[in-house]
């Protein structure tokens, strides 16, 4: 009778364990901690603009560091940013390949055009500094939010998964563990808003930094 619930729990635990490897902690000087996602295995990381914007060091340069799931820390630089849609693309600098010459564990990206309201999603991030915390919910709505800038609007995925400060820049993933959006608290407060994965894709592509696979 309970085998369904047990296999559900096992699957979710395995999925979370896999995703946490693609989740990074972003240290932005003294501005605190945010989340980011390894978008490409060669070291491209996507996060929220506001996570990396807050602080500049004494020299005027940003002191950005990316901490991987296994505790390794590397410096990172901003490749591209768009305040209007609250996205930033970072490049992790350094010899991050491990002994087996493996690159970073990149995420899979969902086709948001196929996303249905009611699909189950999980948000992963570092709310209140709690590393890799997971909340469960579903896709509550998909809509356009007004923005301040030339775009005028951005596609938003709303979920009922609980978010808190520190979730910003962390992924919202579907039942297969594919990223459907990037959680942000800039729009809608704690209402579980995520910038659509399609928006992130075109942002990354426009950044001209998509490397050959």
Partner 1 sequence: MTSNNNNTLVALSAAMADAVEKAGASTVTVDARQRMPASGIAYSAEMVLTADHVVERDEDISVQLPDGSRVSAALAGRDPGNDLALLKLTGAGLVPAETSAAPARIGQLALALGRPSQEGIQASLGVVSALGGPVRTGSGGLLEKYLRTDAIPYPGFSGGPLVDASGYLLGVNTSGLARGVSLTIPVSLAWQVAEALAQHGSVRRGFLGIRSQPVSINGAAQRLLGRSQSTGLLLVGVEESSPADEGGLIVGDILVGLQEAVIDDPDELLVRLSGSIVGQQAAVEVLRGGQPLKLSVKIGERK
* Closer residue to partner 1 (CB): 15 or 73: 15
* Closer residue to partner 1 (CB): 32 or 137: 137
Say whether residue 106 binds partner 1 (CB under 8 A).
yes
Is 50 tagged catalytic? yes
* Closer residue to partner 1 (CB): 45 or 88: 45
Residue with tokens 């914007």: 53
DSSP letter, residue 167: -
Q: Which of 119, 155, 164, 186 touches partner 1 (CB under 8 A)?
A: 119
CB 82 within 8 A of CB 203: yes
Q: Which of 142, 164, 186, 187 touches partner 1 (CB under 8 A)?
A: 142
Say whether residue 14 binds partner 1 (CB under 8 A).
yes
**Residue positions counted in the chain:** 213
CB 54 within 8 A of CB 46: no
Smallest separation (angstroms) from partner 1 to the CB of 180 = 11
CA dihedral in degrees (173, 157, 39, 171; nearest 10)?
A: -50
Distance CA 41, CA 54 (A): 26
Closest residue by Cα to residue 203 from 82, 62, 119: 82
Candidate ranges 29-37, 58-66, 74-82, 133-141; the one touching partner 1 (CB under 8 A): 133-141
3-state secondary structure 23-81: EEEEEECCCCEEEEEEEECCCEEEECHHHHHCCCCCCCCCCEEEECCCCCEEEEEEEEE
Binding mask 55-94 for partner 1 (x = CB under 8 A): ----------------------------------------
Is 70 tagged catalytic? no
Is 160 tagged catalytic? no
Q: Which of 127, 166, 177, 197 touches partner 1 (CB under 8 A)?
A: 177
* Closer residue to partner 1 (CB): 148 or 176: 176
Task: Find the catalytic residue in 22, 80, 159, 168.
Answer: 168
DSSP letter, residue 148: S
Say whether residue 188 binds partner 1 (CB under 8 A).
no
Say whether residue 153 binds partner 1 (CB under 8 A).
no
Distance CA 139, CA 123 (A): 11
Compute the 3-state secondary structure of the chain and give helix, strand, coil in percent, each to the nearest 5.
Answer: 20, 35, 45
CB 27 within 8 A of CB 64: yes
* Contacting positions for partner 1 (CB under 8 A): 4, 7-8, 11-12, 14-15, 18, 105-106, 108, 116-120, 137-143, 158, 160, 174-177
Report, as residue numbers or ranges, the catalytic residues. 50, 86, 168
């Amino acid at each position: 009778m309970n085998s369904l619930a047990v296999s559900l729990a096992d699957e979710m635990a395995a999925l979370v364990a896999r995703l946490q490897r693609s989740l990074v902690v972003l240290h932005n000087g003294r501005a605190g901690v945010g989340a980011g996602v390894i978008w490409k295995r060669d070291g491209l990381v996507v996060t929220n603009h506001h996570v990396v914007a807050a602080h500049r060091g004494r020299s005027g340069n940003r002191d950005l560091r990316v901490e991987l799931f296994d505790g390794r820390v590397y410096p990172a630089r901003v490749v591209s940013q768009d305040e209007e849609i609250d996205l930033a693309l970072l490049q992790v600098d350094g010899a991050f390949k491990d002994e087996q010459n493996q690159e970073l564990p990149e995420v899979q990206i969902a086709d948001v055009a196929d996303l249905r309201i009611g699909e189950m999603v999980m948000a992963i991030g570092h709310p209140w500094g709690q590393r890799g915390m997971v909340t469960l919910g579903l896709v509550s709505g998909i809509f356009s939010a007004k923005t301040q800038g030339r775009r005028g609007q951005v596609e938003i995925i709303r979920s009922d998964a609980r978010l808190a400060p520190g979730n910003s820049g962390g992924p919202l993933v579907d039942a297969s563990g594919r990223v459907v959006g990037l959680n942000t608290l800039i729009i809608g407060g704690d209402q579980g808003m995520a910038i659509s994965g399609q928006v992130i894709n075109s942002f990354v592509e426009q950044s001209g930094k998509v490397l050959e696979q």
